[in-house]
Chains A and B, each alone.
Chain A
Amino acid sequence: MLLDASVLLAAFDPEDDHHKPARGLLEDEATTLATLDLARYEVANVVVRAWRAPESVAPLLTAIERLADDGGVLAPTDTLLARAAELAELHTISVYDAAYAAAASDVGHRLVSCDERDLVSKGLAILPADIRSA
Chain B
Amino acid sequence: MAKVMVSLPDDLLAEVDAEARRGGTTRSAVMRDFADAALRRRRESRAAAMRSLLSDASPHGGRAAEQVKATRPGP
Number of B residues near A (Cβ < 8 Å) is: 29
Determine whether the beta carbon of B56 is less than 8 Å from that of A26: no
Q: Are A66 and B57 interface neighbours, CB within 8 A?
A: no
The count of residues in chain A whose C-beta lies closer than 8 Å to any C-beta of chain B is: 46
Main secondary structure of the interface of B (DSSP, over half): helix
**Using a Cβ cutoff of 8 Å, how many contacts connect chains A and B?**
117
Q: How far is the CB of B72 from chain A (nearest CB, A)?
A: 6
Q: Which residues of A contact B62 (CB under 8 A)?
A: 10, 13, 15-17, 19
CB-nearest residue of chain A relative to B43? A29
Taking CB atoms, residues of chain A closer than 8 Å to B47 are 26-29
Interface assignment of A9: CB less than 8 Å from any CB of chain B = yes
**Residue A134 CB within 8 A of the other chain:** no
Within 8 A of A (CB), among B58-73: 58-65, 67-72
Distance between Cα atoms of A30 and B70 in the complex (Å) = 33
How far in angstroms is the closest Cβ of chain A from B69?
8
Contact of A46 among B44, B50, B67 (CB under 8 A): B67
- Do A12 and B71 contact each other (CB < 8 Å), given the known contacts A29-B47, A66-B49, A70-B43? no
| B interface residues with partner A (beta carbon < 8 Å) | 39-40, 42-47, 49-51, 53-54, 56-65, 67-72
A interface list, Cβ under 8 A from B: 4-7, 9-19, 23, 26-33, 42, 45-46, 49-51, 53, 56, 59, 62-63, 66-67, 69-70, 94, 96, 113-117
